């Protein structure tokens, strides 16, 4: 080793040093030859010292037949990728050795090639095959032998790295395209589409994801069809042409798509009514197609992965085309534009396997043979790769900036790139928008891009306006509109006289006029003609079934929207009232209950009113008791005063004068409540006394079922099935057709009630105002609607036109024309008959707010008074000395407060004593006058007073009471208390009263 190093050092020093100058030319030439020989020898020595790269055998399965130029191009791209990788990294420890095999586009040949590569070549990885069908079985084979398989073109979602972990997809999954395709259809407002796909695993694999994405944006798949061979493409296209849908989503490879669009152009389906949206099977290689193929696709909007054209991509493209011309001179005849996006993915795949082999440090290939008792086929003899797991892990972790963008694998497949929409125009395509998962469709790539497509799109037929996406009548004929032939209620639909069988029947009615008005508001012309359907009277299910049977295009009439019918057809928005109920006869009620005056109020309201009367009276008494002589007296007098005062407010006859502002405020609020309560009671009682004479013959559906009463319904209506579900016996149900039959059956008593939809009942009651009324609960139904085929593009436009009509005055005018003025029958206006007949009594809930207000005000005033009383009198209350059995000090103090509360408030002007004018001018004066007139009740007292009258008249008397007489009996009235208690004090206890004469001194 030391000698080798010295030799290399010598060679290096020799080559770098200057050569000696020799005088003669011959010596100079000899020196040059020797120097050149020494330099070659040094280079060979240096090369011999470098380690030999470890070969990594990689098999490549492609369609290499001359008829498939795609395989030739991909082979060239893989070779260039490996060469470019090692040219950039000459010191690599590994070297990918490619082993190519031809699959000839056949699944069996591809499998055979994989077996050959694994068994005979012992490859450590496989690139390919090209198609999803070929890759399907090979993926399971590689998974069993633990040989990593990388494919940049097997994009079918049916091939899952989760099921076969050794399968690595180095291209985006086809299911990633479903979201941008759905976004494109939603952008142009298309709500229905036909999916056309290649009849292969590649074509059918996208269907689940595409169906989910379209459903997510409200697009309905009207049909899906696999494209067969050329002989059957025309039949498929003519089937599509007979459908009203004109939006088609195409998912197939470029060669099949070119044939398909050529046949579509011959079938007249590349005109301005049609819209074609293709996946990247078309958009990814459209620039590489021949001018003829591009011309057949003119107007197609396609999708393709976005690749930024960098200098590196441009350099590779130039080198690729130059080498392609050199190795395959006839290649330009087929694909004048190279490379495609798929070619860039193929280049990145080969680069990734070389980088992974270098990173993993893969050793020489080695296979472990399985221990099996028998090996019937070559598949049984295949071993298991010893380096496969290591190489697979390295491949999954490899990341770099490739030609097609960032090469990053997640869950065994390449992450979805940004997509761009291209419009096929002229001889090439042009980008018109971009799509990313975060921003959706934008005019430019990036979050700042404006929403929507960037440029004007040229659609088939050179139209620049987006197609509507459907046609009213695919064959150009008028739409067949079926109408029912009714025996009654012809205001809704009327096929006049014998016109039902005539060539041009005279069809009129409310529903017909509404439909004509709706069609006049459509944003495009719709040609149609009415066709009567005579069998509709038996059941409207018959006429509805005409639409799914394609015997009629639309059904117009009084057809109710039900869940069972919506499972077969589509309905427009309802254009009438919804719900169904019953109509009954009314009878005269002459008897009147003697207790009817109690009925206006419910029991709860009566009890609540009584409680608040008592509570209000108590609050007023509590506030006025100490300051108002009119609220004093014996216990029974005061108890009666509480009730009398509160209940006298009913007729506003309360005469007691209130002294406190608190009690006045309580009475003001209470009088307001009483006013509303009495007014409501009067109105309710008046209503009961005036309407009481009319009562419905039947008021309860449950009672009808229990008694087994006969009921009626309209012939052909869905009401019969609803009544049976509610438990009515079919034998107790009778069908009628006209309003006259309704009236006759109800008035004669053949049926107790007739059930029908609200529009019919309103029409019946507008004709028969007297003697009938709509009563009972209103059951849910969705009203009348127009019937369309399932998924019809007319349905949303007609629904919008119905709403527009309903918001204007035209709908009201049509209703007035056919049904008269609304509310012409007073008892029917706004459901007034049922409300009047069943005038409900007033409940506590109706006046809960009023009771809440008066309760809060009364309670608050009482609390304010008590707080003021306690604060002001806190020093005046003295509990009695403890006596036997009086209890605790708290009880004694409470009793003392109660006794003090029962006393007069001597500080009040009403009860002030001494020289105050209130004694001479107040109640005392009235008491003196009563005593003088002989109303004192005690003759001796009267005489004593009369004896002192002179003194009183000459000189004022001052009455002073002892401590024992300060407490005035709370059970005495204001007048009798002074005339009796005080008079008795003069006669029985003269020591307690002193009469001061002028000049005398009180003792």
Q: What is the pLDDT of residue 25?
A: 60
Provide the token pair at 461.
Answer: 């037929």
Residue 545: inside a domain, yes or no?
A: yes
Domain finish residue from 690, 720, 749: 690
- The answer to whether residue 926 scores a pLDDT higher than 80 is no
Tell me whether strands 409-410 and 507-508 are parallel, antiparallel or unpaired.
Answer: unpaired
Residue 990: inside a domain, yes or no?
A: no
Maximum average pLDDT range among 141-150, 678-687, 940-949: 141-150
Provide the token pair at 678.
Answer: 């009495």
| Banded pLDDT at 915 (limits 50, 70, 90) | very low
Instruction: Name the E strands within 786-884.
Output: 787-788
- Pick the more confident residue, 390 or 1: 390
Burial (0-12, 13-18, 19+ Cβ within 10 Å), 92: middle
For the domain that residue 716 is a member of, what is the CATH number?
3.40.190.10
- Pick the more confident residue, 507 or 473: 507
Query: Tens digits of per-residue pLDDT, 324-347?
Result: 888 877 765 555 566 788 889 999
Q: What is the pLDDT of residue 918?
A: 39
Query: Tens digits of per-residue pLDDT, 576-594?
Result: 887 888 888 876 655 567 7
- Pick the more confident residue, 272 or 372: 272
Q: Does residue 436 share a domain with residue 296?
A: yes
- Pick the more confident residue, 483 or 969: 483
CA distance 278 to 302: 4
Q: Does residue 409 share a domain with residue 358?
A: yes
Q: Does residue 76 share a domain with residue 203?
A: no
Q: What is the pLDDT of residue 768?
A: 84
- The answer to whether residue 507 scores a pLDDT higher than 80 is yes
Residue 322: inside a domain, yes or no?
A: no
Average pLDDT over residues 82-108: 92
Comparing CA positions, the residue from 199, 188, 192, 206 lying closest to residue 226 is 199
Residue 974: inside a domain, yes or no?
A: no
Residue 15: inside a domain, yes or no?
A: no
For the domain that residue 430 is a member of, what is the CATH number?
3.40.50.2300
Q: Does residue 295 share a domain with residue 394?
A: no
Residue 855: inside a domain, yes or no?
A: no
Comparing CA positions, the residue from 716, 275, 412, 296 lying closest to residue 537 is 716
Q: Does residue 250 share a domain with residue 184?
A: yes
Q: Does residue 499 share a domain with residue 486?
A: yes
Concatenating the DSSP letter of every residue in 498-515 gives: TGGGSSS--EESHHHHHH
Q: What is the residue range of 776's domain?
A: 583-589+694-781
Domain finish residue from 781, 811, 843: 781
Average pLDDT over residues 472-486: 85
Average pLDDT over residues 389-397: 93
- Tell me which of 356-360, 459-463, 655-659, 850-854 is least confident: 655-659
Produce one character per residue of 535-569: b if its CB has 16 or more CB atoms within 10 Å, e if not. Answer: ebbebbbebbbbbeeeebbbbbbbbbbbeebeeeb
CA distance 815 to 808: 12
Distances (CA, A) of 1003 to 238, 548, 960, 964: 135, 120, 11, 16
Residue 511: inside a domain, yes or no?
A: yes
Across the chain, mean pLDDT equals: 78
- The answer to whether residue 612 scores a pLDDT higher than 80 is yes
Q: What is the pLDDT of residue 725?
A: 86
- The answer to whether residue 878 scores a pLDDT higher than 90 is no
Non-local CB neighbours of 377 within 8 Å, separated by 6+ positions: none
Average pLDDT over residues 301-310: 90
Taking the model in full, what pTM does it have? 0.60
- The answer to whether residue 983 scores a pLDDT higher than 90 is no
Q: Does residue 217 share a domain with residue 185?
A: yes
**Residue 156 · residue 207 · CB < 8 Å:** no
Q: Does residue 351 share a domain with residue 364?
A: yes
- The answer to whether residue 989 scores a pLDDT higher than 70 is no
Q: What is the pLDDT of residue 396?
A: 94
Q: Does residue 404 share a domain with residue 423?
A: no
Query: Tens digits of per-residue pLDDT, 760-795?
Result: 888 888 888 777 888 777 888 788 999 999 888 888
Q: Does residue 133 share a domain with residue 65?
A: yes
Average pLDDT over residues 598-622: 85
Q: What is the pLDDT of residue 98?
A: 94
Q: Does residue 211 share a domain with residue 77?
A: no
Q: What is the pLDDT of residue 80?
A: 94
- Tell me which of 107-111, 140-144, 554-558, 769-773 is least confident: 769-773
Split into its structural domains, the chain has a count of 5
Query: Tens digits of per-residue pLDDT, 885-908?
Result: 555 777 777 887 777 777 777 677
**Helices and strands (H, E) in the chain, number of each type:** 36, 32
Query: Tens digits of per-residue pLDDT, 203-251?
Result: 999 999 999 999 999 898 988 999 876 668 888 898 898 888 899 999 9
Q: Does residue 718 share a domain with residue 796?
A: no
Query: Tens digits of per-residue pLDDT, 723-751?
Result: 888 888 888 899 888 888 988 888 888 89
Residue 24: inside a domain, yes or no?
A: no
């Amino acid at each position: 080793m030391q000698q080798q190093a010295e030799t290399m050092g010598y060679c290096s020093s020799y080559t770098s040093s200057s050569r000696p100058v020799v005088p003669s030319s011959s010596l100079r030439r000899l020196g040059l030859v020797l120097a050149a020989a020494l330099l070659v020898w040094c280079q060979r020595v240096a090369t011999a010292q470098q380690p030999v790269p470890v070969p990594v055998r990689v098999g490549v399965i492609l369609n290499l037949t001359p008829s498939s130029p795609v395989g030739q191009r991909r082979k060239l791209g893989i070779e260039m990728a490996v060469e470019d990788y090692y040219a950039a990294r000459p010191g690599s420890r590994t070297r990918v050795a490619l082993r190519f095999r031809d699959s000839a586009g056949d699944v069996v040949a591809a499998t055979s090639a994989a077996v050959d590569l694994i068994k005979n070549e012992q490859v450590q990885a496989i690139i390919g095959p090209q198609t999803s069908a070929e890759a399907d079985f090979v993926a399971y084979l590689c998974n069993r032998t633990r040989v990593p398989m990388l494919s940049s073109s097997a994009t079918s979602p049916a091939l899952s790295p989760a099921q076969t972990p050794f399968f690595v997809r180095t291209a985006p999954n086809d299911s990633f395209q479903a979201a941008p395709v759905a976004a494109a259809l939603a952008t142009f407002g298309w709500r229905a589409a036909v999916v056309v796909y290649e009849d292969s695993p590649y074509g059918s694999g996208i269907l689940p994801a595409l169906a989910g994405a379209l459903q997510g944006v409200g697009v309905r798949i009207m049909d899906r069809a696999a494209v067969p061979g050329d002989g059957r493409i025309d039949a498929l296209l003519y089937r599509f042409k007979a459908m009203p849908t004109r939006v088609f989503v195409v998912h197939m490879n470029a060669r099949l798509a070119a044939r398909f669009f050529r046949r579509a152009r011959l079938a007249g389906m590349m005109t301005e009514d049609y819209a074609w949206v293709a996946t990247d099977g078309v958009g990814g290689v459209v620039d590489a197609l021949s001018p003829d193929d591009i011309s057949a696709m003119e107007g197609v909007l396609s999708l393709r992965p976005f690749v930024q054209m960098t200098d590196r991509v441009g350099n590779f493209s130039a080198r690729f085309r130059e080498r392609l011309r050199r190795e395959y001179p006839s290649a330009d005849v087929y694909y004048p534009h190279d490379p495609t996006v798929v070619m860039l993915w193929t280049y990145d795949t080969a680069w990734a396997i070389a980088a992974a082999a270098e990173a993993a440090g893969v050793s020489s290939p080695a296979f472990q043979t399985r221990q099996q008792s028998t090996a019937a086929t070559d598949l049984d003899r295949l071993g298991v790769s010893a380096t496969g797991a290591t190489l697979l892990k390295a491949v999954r972790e490899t990341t770099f900036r490739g030609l097609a963008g960032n090469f990053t694998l997640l869950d065994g497949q390449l992450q979805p790139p940004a997509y761009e929409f291209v419009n096929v125009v002229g001889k090439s395509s042009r980008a018109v928008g971009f799509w990313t998962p975060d921003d959706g469709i934008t005019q430019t790539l990036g979050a700042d891009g404006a929403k929507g497509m960037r440029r004007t799109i040229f659609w088939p037929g050179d139209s620049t306006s987006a197609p509507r996406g459907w046609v009213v009548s695919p064959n150009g004929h008028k739409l067949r509109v079926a109408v029912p032939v009714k025996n009654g209620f012809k205001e809704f639909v009327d096929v006049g006289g014998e016109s039902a069988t005539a060539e041009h029947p005279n069809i009129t009615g409310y529903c017909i006029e509404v439909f004509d008005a709706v069609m006049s508001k459509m944003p495009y012309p719709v040609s149609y003609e009415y066709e009567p359907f005579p069998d509709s009277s038996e059941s409207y299910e018959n006429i509805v079934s005409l639409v799914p049977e394609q015997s009629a295009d639309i059904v117009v009439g009084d057809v109710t929207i039900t869940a069972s019918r919506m499972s077969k057809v589509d309905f427009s928005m309802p254009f009438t009232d919804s719900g169904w109920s019953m109509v009954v006869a009314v009878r005269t009620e002459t008897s009147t209950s003697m207790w009817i005056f109690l009925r206006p109020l419910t029991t709860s309201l009566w009890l609540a009113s009584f409680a608040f009367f008592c509570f209000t009276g108590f609050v007023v008494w509590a506030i006025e008791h100490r300051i108002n002589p009119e609220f004093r007296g014996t216990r029974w007098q005061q108890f009666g005063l509480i009730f009398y005062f509160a209940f006298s407010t009913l007729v506003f006859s309360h005469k007691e004068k209130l002294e406190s502002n608190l009690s006045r405020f309580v009475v003001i609020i209470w009088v307001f409540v009483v006013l509303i309560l009495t007014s409501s009671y009067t109105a309710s009682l008046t209503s009961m006394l005036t309407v009481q004479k009319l009562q419905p013959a039947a008021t309860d559906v449950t009672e009808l079922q229990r008694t087994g009463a006969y009921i009626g319904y309209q012939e052909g209506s869905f009401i019969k099935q609803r009544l049976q579900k509610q438990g009515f016996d079919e034998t107790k149900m009778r069908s009628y057709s006209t309003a006259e039959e309704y009236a006759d059956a109800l008035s004669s008593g053949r049926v107790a009630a007739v059930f029908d939809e609200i529009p019919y009942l309103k029409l019946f009651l507008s004709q028969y105002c007297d003697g009938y009324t709509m009563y009972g609960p209103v059951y849910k139904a969705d009203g009348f609607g127009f019937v369309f085929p399932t998924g019809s593009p007319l349905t949303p436009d007609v629904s919008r036109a119905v709403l527009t009509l309903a918001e204007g005055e035209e709908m009201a005018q049509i209703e007035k024309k056919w049904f008269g003025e609304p509310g012409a029958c007073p008892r029917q206006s706004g459901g007034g008959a049922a409300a009047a007949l069943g005038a409900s009594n007033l409940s506590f809930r109706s006046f809960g707010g009023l009771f809440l207000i008066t309760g809060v005000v009364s309670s608050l005033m009482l609390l304010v008074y008590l707080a003021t009383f306690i604060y002001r009198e806190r020093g005046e209350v003295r509990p009695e000395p403890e006596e036997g059995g009086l209890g605790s000090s708290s009880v004694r103090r409470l009793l003392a407060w109660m006794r003090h509360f029962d006393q007069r408030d001597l500080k009040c002007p009403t009860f002030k004593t001494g020289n105050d004018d209130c004694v001479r001018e107040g109640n005392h004066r009235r008491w003196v006058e009563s005593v003088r007139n002989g109303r004192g009740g005690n003759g001796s007292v009267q005489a004593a007073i009369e004896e002192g009258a002179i003194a009183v008249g000459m000189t004022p008397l001052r009455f002073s009471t002892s401590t024992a007489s300060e407490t005035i009996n709370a059970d005495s009235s204001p007048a009798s208390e002074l005339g009796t208690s005080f008079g008795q004090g003069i006669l029985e206890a003269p020591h307690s009263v002193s009469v001061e004469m002028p000049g005398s001194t009180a003792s």
